[in-house]
Structure 1
Amino acid sequence: MYVNLIWFRNDLRTLENPAVSAACQNNTFKVIAIYIATPNQWRSHHMAPKQAAFIYHNLISLKNELVHFDIKLYTHQSSTFLNAALYFIKFCLKHDVKNVFYNYEYMLNECERDNLVKKHLHRKKIFMYGFHGSMLLSPHVVKNKKNKTYQVYSPFKKCVLKHLKQLNLASPMLLKKNIKYKKMLTIRPFCYPMEEFDQTIFPIGEKRALYRLKIFCTNKIIRYGLHRNFPYLTSTSLLSPYLSIGVLSPIQCLKYILKKVPNVFSLSKKCTWLNEIIWREFYYYLIASYPILSKNQSIKKWTEKIPWKNNNIYLEAWKKGNTGFPIIDAGMRQLNTLGWMHNRLRMITASFLVKNLFIDWRLGHNYFMSKLIDGNFASNNGNWQWISSTGYNSTPYFRIFNPEIQSKKFDCLGKFILQYIPELKKIPISEIHNPHAWIIKNKVNFNYPAPIINYKLSRKNNLSVFIKTYNIHYK
């Protein structure tokens, strides 16, 4: 009997998975699946221990789901992508695989791995079929009128919406097989640090993820645009961890959006959350289009000449949430505790690191990846380059978030700050956004650090360096 193999990577789901559906189309083929962990590669990419644990638990859930479709999931650990590729080739030969079905990954190392496997399997007359199951659209479809890659978000979004209106959103069917396996394979823990996470916040498995998606779209999506910037509100979807490892797909998100907002594509009916999904698409699109991004290099070449200070004392204070700026510290402590941070706070803390502490954005990028349960290279890289003014469609270099103004605007009563900095509970609410001034005035001692920098001075000095570097480059 011919064998179809599903190669799972960042697509740990059975539903709305084009690779799974295609593999199960022919009832005359036996279907098996494999997932290969690459701990050393994860380490080089700074994967968070919480995310490793999240992948592991969802992998077990996937294995249990596949049993219902009579698909046996094999797992293996290889140190690197190269070793994984070599093992995968041997696995295909051992199990008489005829066809391999997989969803594309777009980073440079992943593409090189897939090309190596495809080249070797082709010689053995084993065929590989790839799908864009992690994106709304193929990155090759979204091009401007000159058939070039978009570099700015707004026209990209307009083009994406045009294609989405024409997209066939019929769900692919997963055909049930008749082959029965007597023994389920166990999944050994990864040879990689794994850190427990709050499963009440991030429950395991695609069924729970889909339920959360349904509840969010039913109860919160209409008010999302109004509430999403306030970290003390439970207004966000908390679905990013599932999208990052493919327990959910962006197509599933789009379908639920359309159920709640059927005319979402019309200009008169905007949906802020759909905009966030398309931003994710944009960063995937850039990663697929520009291999340089996979090397952690800045798109804007002049910014590579910026003389970052990279003060390690400042960096450590930022990491631990001890900068003396409450909204910054609360955000970083949320990251360190949950492995997740509210999006508004990601922007504020990143801006502070780069444009006030004047530390290279890549150090912040790597730290976020080392902590985030929803760590995703494309989105993380895109957001850091956006806030650092180094990438395409980035914020202008003169835009710098003022943490005190942001704090007063989005956490006016200090509810979020006090959740993560309880040592400030005796500070008057009116002073909580700049507690050090009140502490000095009232001559009291508090177990909270003084600001590590003068914000206004840091803004002035660092902005002048950006301007000088820019002018030198374009002389």
Structure 2
Amino acid sequence: MKKNLIWFRNDLRLYDHTALHEACKSDTDKVIALFIATPEEWKKHYISEKKISFMYYNLISLEKDLLKLNIILHYHESTNFLKSIQYLMYFCFKHKINNLFYHYQYEFDERNRDFLVKKKLSQQGVFVQGFHDNLLVSHELIKNKNNKAYKVFSFFKKKITQYLYKNKIPECFSIPLKRKPDENYCFFNSVSSEKLDFKFDKKIFPVGEIEAFNRLKNFCIYKVNDYSLERNFPFLNSTSMLSPYLSIGIISSRHCLSMFLKTKINISLNNFFNSSWINQILWREFYYHLLISFPKLSKNQALVEWENRIDWNNNIKHFNAWKEGNTGFPIVDAGMRQLNELGWMHNRVRMITSNFLVKNLFIDWRMGEKYFMSHLIDGDLALNNGGWQWSASIGTDSVPYIRILNPLNQSKKFDISGVFIKKFIPELRNVPNEYIHQPHEWSKKMKCKIDYPDPIINYDDSRKRTLLIFKRVRSYFKKGLNTHE
């Protein structure tokens, strides 16, 4: 009889869990589980209070679900990664663990931690096995002709879809059967009730794997057909709202693909991969492959080298106005207030707000990236970093021009009647719809004051400045010159 340990991290589920499946293959093996919280590391990496709270509640749910399988989930708090390695070694020694199973994490510090864990536990006689469970396909299998990672999404998508066509969509692992109870594990460290403090809206983000499963199923049945038409309109309830569950692994990417296929029985694989929603799942995959292949993305560095020659204008007054949703640009402010209130923001509005910070306020994208991460309930380094670098035009955006999103045009196009704006900016609820995108024009016309700030910048001037600076920096970089000389 062997003792198998499952080390849970950002994979708080039972269904389609590779490490759980492998640990439970033998009916005679004893199986236990462990979660090690690292508060100092979370703080260091700007993990939001909402995400931590959401994680703890789902950890409690996971603990209960595992008990139904007669698998005990042990909980320990180690402040940082170094302490977590020491505790893991102690735990394996104390419980005489033979095999450790876990899923890879791809951030730089986490990869270093896992490397040390495998090295030290192997010396201790423990067999350590990790799995690429957070990916649809291992990054080692999706390479270009030079055996390097793709930097352009369209080429990446072509390669990974070809691979999935040929090898079929990965199947999901079912939940293991209930195991024989182990009387030796009646006492264990559980998640402390002190951690149970709702810092997120549990009505919008209900807790538990069943809730995530139902949300995924309902989206695939009732919403996904209209997703391509409605996904850019923040006033509509048209998105899946699954990102918090994906971020801590309450559901998997494989499960998303599998559910889509189950609910769309007659869909061809060609139409399947052309689905706008599946495209978003592949974007998620793309950003993970980038994070793995370019460790500098975990170190506050841009994908392109010329970015470090930009002298960002980090105006703190402007940055604070952006954070608080008081820039005088309604669609930007509504988005930031949505983020501050819910810990979540509609994807189109994430693009608008991030683009505005970098391209119009000309503030370092890293400042925005950290602020998003410190507030998002679905904060994920790969996706957040990838999105910010895309918005800043220093990442994977393949267009030859500098993409600048005009907040006025975006507002008129995607929040036509100002429903989203009025929801999050109550000061503007009495402004007529035809003026909601430029409320100060109405204020001047009616000769009345509104409790809403004037625009903090001139959009046209900011656009010209950004285009000029970016063009100059890129040109100098190609010539091998130093812009500071």
TM-score bracket for the superposition, by shorter chain length: over 0.9
The 5-angstrom pairing of residues 310-389 of structure 1 reads: 310-389=314-393
Partner of 1:206: 209
Partner Cα separation in structure 2 for residue 474 and residue 287 of structure 1: 25
> Does the CA-based 8 Å contact 1:36-1:76 persist in structure 2?
yes
Where do residues 101-250 of structure 1 align in structure 2 (5 Å cutoff)?
101-165=101-165, 166-167=167-168, 169-173=170-174, 174-181=176-183, 182=186, 185-188=189-192, 196-250=199-253
Post-superposition offset of 1:194: 6.0
In the alignment, the residues of structure 2 paired with residue 269 and residue 63 of structure 1 have an alpha-carbon distance, to the nearest angstrom, of 36
Residues 260-292 of structure 1: per-residue CA shift (max 9 Å, x gap):
334352158731100000000000000111111
**Is 1:37–1:190's contact at 8 Å kept on the other side of the alignment?**
no
Segments of 5+ residues of structure 1 without an aligned counterpart are none
2 CA distance for matches of 1:420 and 1:299?
34
Using the TM superposition, give the Cα deviation of residue 236 of structure 1 relative to its aligned residue in structure 2, in angstroms. 0.3
- Give the SS at the match of 1:34: strand
Corresponding position of 2:453: 449
TM alignment of 1:46-61, pairs within 5 A: 46-61=46-61
Q: Contact 1:298 / 1:391 at 8 angstroms: preserved in 2?
A: yes
Check 1:151–1:189 CA distance in 2 against 1; reply closer, same or farther (3 A cut).
farther
Any idea what the Cα deviations from partners look like across 1:219-257, whole Å, max 9, x if unmatched? 001110000000000000000000000001000000011
Given that 1:387 and 1:395 are in contact with CA atoms closer than 8 Å, whether structure 2 keeps it comes out as no
Unaligned runs of 5+ in 2: 480-485
Aligned to 2:309: 305
Distance 2:401 2:373 in 1: 24
Normalised to the residue count of structure 1, the TM-score between the two structures is 0.97
> Could you tell which deviates more after superposition, 126-135 or 255-264?
255-264
Distance in 2, matches of 1:216 and 1:396, equals: 35
Q: Which residue of 2 aligns with 1:17?
A: 17
Structure 2 counterpart of 1:431: 435
Secondary structure in structure 2 of the residue aligned to 1:140:
helix
Is the contact made by 1:19 and 1:101 (CA closer than 8 Å) also made in structure 2? yes
Contact preservation (8 Å) 1:303, 1:390: yes
For residue 124 of structure 1, what is the amino acid of its counterpart?
Q
Counterpart selection for 1:391 from 392, 395, 404 = 395
CA distance 1:65–1:41, change in 2 (3 Å): same
CA–CA separation in structure 1 for the residues paired with 2:254 and 2:156: 18
Structure 2 counterpart SS, 1:220: helix
SS of the residue aligned with 2:312?
A: coil
In structure 2, the residue corresponding to 1:247 is in which secondary structure?
Answer: coil
- 1:46 and 1:26 map into 2 onto residues whose CA distance is 40
Residues 427/396 of structure 1: CA separation in 2 closer, same or farther (3 Å cut): farther
Change over 3 Å in CA distance of 1:322–1:216 after alignment to 2: same
Tell me how far 1:396 sits from its aligned partner.
Answer: 4.9
Q: Is the 8 A contact 2:5 2:101 kept in 1?
A: yes
Shift in Å at residue 145 of structure 1? 3.2
In structure 2, the residue matched to 1:295 is 299
Q: Contact conserved, 2:257 with 2:278, CA < 8 A, in 1? A: yes
Identical pairs, percent: 50
Change in CA separation of 1:53 and 1:453 when aligned onto 2, cut-off 3 Å = same
Aligned pair count? 474
1:200 positional shift: 1.1
Out of 408, 413, 417, the position equivalent to 2:421 is 417
In structure 2, the CA distance between the partners of 1:90 and 1:395, relative to structure 1 (3 Å rule), is: farther
Structure 2 letter corresponding to 1:178: K
Partner-residue secondary structure (3-state), 2:32: strand
